[in-house]
Each structure stands twice: as C-alpha cells, then as structure tokens.
Structure 1
Amino acid sequence: MRRLFKIALIAVLTLVVLGGASLLLFGRDSHGNLSGSISEQIDQYLLNQEFQGTVLISKDGEVLFEKGYGKAAPNLQNSTDTLYQIASLSKSFTAVAIMQLAEKQLLTVDDSLAKYFPDFPNADTITIGHLLSHSSGIPDYLKPDYQFDYSKEWEPTEIIEVVRNEPLEFTPGESFSYSNSGYVLLGLIIEQVSGQAYSDYIEEHIFKPSGMHNSMFETKEGLPIAEGHVEGKSGPRMDDSAAYAAGDIISTAEDLALFDEALRQNLLVSEETSKLMGTTHASKFPYKYGYGWYTQDVLGHKAVGHSGGYPSGFRHYVARLQDEELTVIVLSNEMTVNSKSINRNLTSIVLQKPIWIWEEFF
C-alpha cells in the first residue's frame, strides 16, 4: 500500500512540475503571429478574433487606434460613433458624481445610508463608501433569485423594493460583493443632495464639461445605436430604465475617451479624489474595488478598469493604465465576446509585452 502511495505521489508531483514547466514555456502569448505597425497588429488581432464591436485606444492624450467591426444593427456597421448601452461602465460616472458632491462638502463617503433613507433596513451600519465599493452587503437585485424583469419600465424606488427586506450578505465593510442595488441607492442620493434628476446631473456635471455630446439616457430614433446580440441573434429587450444609476447610460467609444481624458486632466474631480477612487476599499479574491473602479495590476502597471454587460447582448471593458497614460476601450454588441480578455491582449500589443494566460482574466 505504501509503495502504491509513493508511486501515486511521485506521479502527481511529476505532473505538477511538467504542468508548471509547460505554463512557463507556453503560458504566455507574445503575439508573434502579428506583423507591421502597432495599429496593423491590433487590426490583425481583432480580425483573427472575429470581434464584433468598437475599439478605441488612446495614449498620452492622443487616439492611437479606433475602429468598428461587424454589424451594429442589420443596416448599420459598428464604428467609433456607434451608440451602445454601456451598462455597468455607468458606475464610474455615478461614482464621479458622488465624489463631486463630496468635494463640494455636500456629503461625505462616511455618511450613513440612514441620513438619506432612515427606513432602509441596516441603514445606520451602511455608508456611502460601502455603496461605492460594493462592500455594503446589500444583495444585488439582478441575481437570478429575484427574477428581475429587464423588459419593463422601472422607477428607481421600485428597483430598491426588490431587495429592501432581504438580509445582508455580510457585515458592511467586511467583504466585497458586487451590488447593482448599491449603485441605484447612490443615484437616489445624488438626486436628494443635488436637487436634480440623476440624468440631469450627469448631463450637466459630467457629459457637458467632458465634451460628451453623443451620450444620453434614452435612445432616440434615427441615431446609430447598436442592437445587442447573443450568438449572432438579437438579444432580449432591455428597457433603458432597468439599471438606473447602476447602468443606464448610452454612449460611444469616442465619448468614453473624452470622459477618460477629462478625468486625467482633473476637469471632473481633483487629482486627490481620482487617487482615492483608484485606491482599493474592498476586496474578495480575485476582485479588488475602489470607488467606481476595479483596482488592478495590468501587465505590471497600476490600473483601474470596469466591465459592463447586459443580458440583451452587450459585453464591454475599459482599462486605464495610470503610469502609461494608456486607455483601452472595448465595446461589443455580442454577448459571447470576452471583452476583458480582448482588452488585456490589446494592451499587450500596445506595450509590446507578452501576456500570461491568467492576465487575460484578472
């Protein structure tokens, strides 16, 4: 028996060593199959991936690459001015709005939820900072258990009622769990404090100073808007109101680049506030989150980023490398596209640094 155990142990250790060696030898991609300029390599990569959507990459304040691929709708090609429901990329806008109000000393991240919603369960133990960093413990109303109907029109207060009486998932501040519910509450706080509708506040204090003239909250007939797809077929309908401050913005790759540049130029919030937003405030492996951004290490560079997706057929990812002044925007209207993996590989091509397999996902 001992002999068999030793043989089995040696076999397992051998497999581990061989697996590790294989990973070291073959577990990273230098994109050696691509040729030409950086832009040509990016284009080749996206064509090889049969990517559907729009990519915009900026570096040092200048657009390095921008191009649309595939169909946005039956009679519309994807391009850099195609409108997309950007889903959870909207959370960064909501977080900026909250931090603008904090800079004006109209609220603080340490304010309790009870200050704004005294009747909300556990409100005295939950802070604005917890909502911003997904560390409140409030369940996500989009979890399958709640069978949320995306197709109908919703009021923000109706969305909150879905989880109001549900128990917290953990003690506020002690863990991380992504919660769209928390960002709906943040939108309502913005309205209370500013005296403006959430959409009006974002338009006046973020879209306008950033020069984002092609961003909105409701689709308008005749504009070049992408339709969501799932495995090539039109995705299910999702009403514009179904996510509110957690994901209702409609924008373009070009406008998102303008938002990024406004942040880098400290036109929306101060440099100190931007650093605070990009500091980790909550984590649970493998996730780390600041205020409105995932905090990350991307190919050895400090970065922030965010994903965005709708079951109607959209998958997006934005990554912002701080020290490289590099921003990679990937918007896709095909649900099966892994936008984060594509984003990471595009970053690898721009930096001309090989990418490890696990770096495509973390």
Structure 2
Amino acid sequence: MRKFFKIVLISVLTLVVFGGASLLFFGRDSHGNLSGSIPEQIDQYLSNQEFQGTVLISKDGEVLFKKGYGAAAPNVQNSPNTLYQIASLSKSFTAVAIMQLAEKQLLTVDDPLAKYFPDFPNADTITIGHLLSHSSGIPDYLNPDYQFDFSKEWEPDEILDIVRNDKLEFTPGESFSYSNTGYVLLGLIIEEVSGKPYSNYIEEHIFKPSGMHNSMFTIPEGAQAAKGHVEGKFGPLMHNSAAYAAGDIISTVEDLALFDEALRQNLLVNEETTKLMGTTHASKFPYQYGYGWYTQDVLGHNAVGHSGGFPSGFRHYIVRLQNVDLTVIVLSNEMTVNSKTINRNLTSIVLQKPLWIWEELL
C-alpha cells in the first residue's frame, strides 16, 4: 500500500513539474500567426478576435494605428470619432483636476476631508490623497449590495447618502479598495475649491488646453455615439449622472490620445506632478494605484493605466508606457469584450515582445 501511494505521489509531482514547465515554455503568445507591418498585424489580431469597438495606438508622438470595428449603433459603424461613455477612464481627468488645484496651492493632497465636508463620517482621518488612491476605506456605492439604480438621474449628494452611514472598510491609508464614492467626493471638492461646476472645470482646464473638441458630458442629438451591447443586444439604460466625477465623461479615442499627449508635454500638470500621479500610493495584491492611475509593469516597462466599464455594455482599457512613448487605447461597446486582454496583446504586437499568459491579467 505504501508503495502504491509513493507511486501516486511521484506521478502527481511529475505532472505538476511537467505542467509548470509546459506553462513556462508554451504559456506565452508571440503572435506568430500574424504577418505584415505592425499596423497590419494589429488589424489581423483585432479581426481574429471579432473585436467590437475602436482602437488607437500612438507611439513617439505619432498615431501608429486607429480603426473602428463592428457596430456602434444601428446602421452606425464604430470609427475613431465615435463617442463613448468612457466610464472610469474619467477618474484620470478628475485626478488631474485635483492636482492642477494643488499646483496652484488651492489645496493639498494631505488636506483632511473634514476641511470640505466636516459632517461626513470619519472626515478628519481621510485625506484627499486617500480619495485619489482608493485608500480611504469608504465603501463603493456601486457595490452590488447597494442595488444601485443606474437608470435614474442622480445628484452627487444623493450618491453619497447611499454609503454615508456605513462603516469604513479599513483604517484610511492602510489598504486599497476601489471606491467610486471617493471620486464623487473629489468632484465636489473640485467644485468647492474652483467655484465652478465639475463639468465646466474639466472643459475649461483639461478639454480646451488638450484640444479635445469632441469630449463632453451630454451626447448631442444625432451624434455618432456608441450604444452599449451585452452579448450582441442593447444593454440596460444608464443615466450618465449615475457616475458623476467617477465616470461621466463622453469622449473618443482621438480625444483620449490628445489628453495623453497633453500629459506627456506637461501642458496640464508639470512633470513632477505627473510622476507623483504615477507613483504607487496604495496597494492590495494584485492591484497598485497612484493618483488616478493603476501603476503597473507592462512587458517589462513602467506604466500607468486604467479600466472603464458600465453594465450598459462598455468595456475600456488604456495603458501608457512611461519609459517609452507608447499609449494603447481600447474602447469597446460590447460587455463581453475583455479590453484589458486586448490591450495587453496589442502592446505585445507593437513591442514585438511575447506575452506571457499571466501578463494579460496583471
């Protein structure tokens, strides 16, 4: 009997070792099935994936690739100028706005929340920096437990009331937990400090200097706008006010590329601030977060990025490599698309560097 168990144990260990070795040897994609120029390989990959959405890739300050795939709406094809609800990609804009006000010495990231919302629970222990880095411990109002109604029109204060009386998830600054609620608070702080509505501030201080003429907060009647899809069917109705400063911006891949270039040229915030935003301020495996950006290692390169999505049928991902001038923007209006995986593979193709299986996830 002992001999039998010994044989079984050896067999299991052999399988584990062999499986691990196989993963190391075969568990990466070098996209050897693609051919032609880099743009041609990108197009082949996206077509093979039956991707629905729009992609723009910029390298060294120039657009390397941009193209739309599939339907944006009935009788409307996705294209580089298609409007999308960009969801949580908006958080980077909110963070830039806060840092602009910090550069003007109108606030600091160490300011306690109590300075702006003295009646908010635990406001004396939560700072602006905690809100920016999702390390405040404030519960996320989009947690499924709250059964949030995306379809109705919301005021920011009504959103805050959803979680106002709930306990913090942890002591501020001691962990990471993604909180849309924190970014709603940041939007209200921008309004109080600047004296302008959040949307007006973003339009004047980010859209305008970046040249983003096709970005907005309300979709004009008859505009070429993408409708969200879930498994090929229209997604549930979502009112844009349900996200406020956590995700209510409407934009295009072309305008997002202009935002990226404005950041790289230090037109919105200075170089020191950009580095601060891309520095890890909170983490909980496998996530690391700076101010308005996830901080990442992407194929051996220092990078920042962000995801964005709505249950109405939008899945987005942007990554910005810091030590090489490369930005990959993926916007999709199909909920089943894994935009992060798409983004990682596109980055792999551009860099001509094989992608390990786990690199699609981190």
Aligning the two structures, in what range does the TM-score lie when normalised by the shorter sequence? over 0.9
Residues 1:53 and 2:53 aligned together: yes
Superposition map of 1:265-304 within 5 A = 265-304=265-304
| Structure 2 residue 202 is matched with structure 1 residue 202 | yes
Matched letter for residue 337 of structure 1: V
Task: Tell me the distance in 1 between the aligned counterparts of 2:98 and 2:4.
Answer: 63
**2:178 — aligned with what?**
178
Cα deviations across residues 135-186 of structure 1 (Å, max 9, x unaligned)?
0000000011000000000000000000001110011000000000000000
Q: Which residue of the partner structure matches residue 123 of structure 2?
A: 123
Give per-residue Cα distances to partners, 1:110-132, cap 9 Å, x unaligned.
00011110011111110000000
Counting aligned pairs with the same residue, the percent is: 85
Q: Secondary structure at the match of 1:344?
A: helix
Question: For 1:303-343, what per-residue CA distance to the aligned partner results, in whole angstroms no more than 9, with x for missing partners?
Answer: 00000000000000000001110000000000000000000
Q: How does 1:35-74 map to 2 (within 5 A)?
A: 35-74=35-74
The separation in 2 between residues aligned to 1:200 and 1:153, in whole angstroms, is: 19
Name the residue aligned to 1:91.
91
> What is the match of residue 247 of structure 1?
247
Counterpart of 2:240 in 1: which secondary structure?
A: coil
Deviations 1:48-67 (A, max 9, x none): 00000000000011000000
Alignment of 1:251-262 (within 5 A): 251-262=251-262
Q: TM-score, normalised by structure 2?
A: 0.99
Q: Tell me if 1:307 matches 2:307.
A: yes
Q: Which aligned runs of 4 or more in structure 1 are off by greater than 6 angstroms?
A: none
User: Shift in Å at residue 12 of structure 1?
Assistant: 2.6
Q: Distance in 2 between matches of 1:257 and 1:80?
A: 11
Matched, 1:341 2:341: yes
Deviation readout 1:10-47 (Å, 9 max, x if unpaired): 23321221111111221000000000000000000000
The structural deviation recorded for 1:2 is 4.5
What amino acid is the match of 2:339? S
Amino acid across the alignment from 2:149: D
State the alpha-carbon separation in 2 of the partners of residues 119 and 132 from structure 1.
20
Query: Any idea what SS the aligned residue of 1:130 has?
Result: helix
Amino acid in the other structure paired with 1:306? H
Matched, 1:217 2:222: no
Which residue pairs with 1:29 in the alignment? Answer: 29
Flag the 1:181–1:4 CA change in 2: closer, same or farther, 3 A: farther
Distance 1:188 1:291 in 2: 17
What's the offset of the Cα at 1:219? 1.3
**In structure 2, what residue type is equivalent to 1:352?**
Q
SS at match of 2:186: helix
Deviation at 1:3, TM superposition (A): 3.8
Instruction: Please state how far the C-alpha of 1:352 moved relative to its aligned partner.
Output: 0.3
Compute the TM-score of the two structures, normalised by the length of structure 1. Answer: 0.99
The AA in structure 1 aligned to 2:233 is K
Distance 2:262 2:20 in 1: 44
Show the counterpart of 1:360: 360
Shift of 1:244: 0.1
Q: How many residues align?
A: 362
Unpaired segments ≥5 residues, structure 1: none
Given residue 313 of structure 1, which amino acid in structure 2 is its aligned partner? G
Amino acid at match of 2:346: L
5+ long unaligned stretches in structure 2 = none
1:133 aligns with 2:133: yes
The residue identity in structure 2 corresponding to 1:13 is: L
SS at match of 2:242: coil
The offset of 1:81, in angstroms, is 0.2
Q: What is the match of residue 264 of structure 2?
A: 264
Counterpart Cα distance in 1 of 2:91 and 2:297: 20
Task: Indicate the SS of the match to 1:122.
Answer: coil
Q: CA deviation at 1:7?
A: 3.2
Partner of 2:165: 165
The amino acid across from 1:36 in the alignment is G
**Partner amino acid, structure 2, of 1:260:** D
**CA–CA separation in structure 2 for the residues paired with 1:341 and 1:191:** 36
Q: In structure 2, what is the equivalent of residue 82 of structure 1?
A: 82
Structure 2 counterpart of 1:350: 350
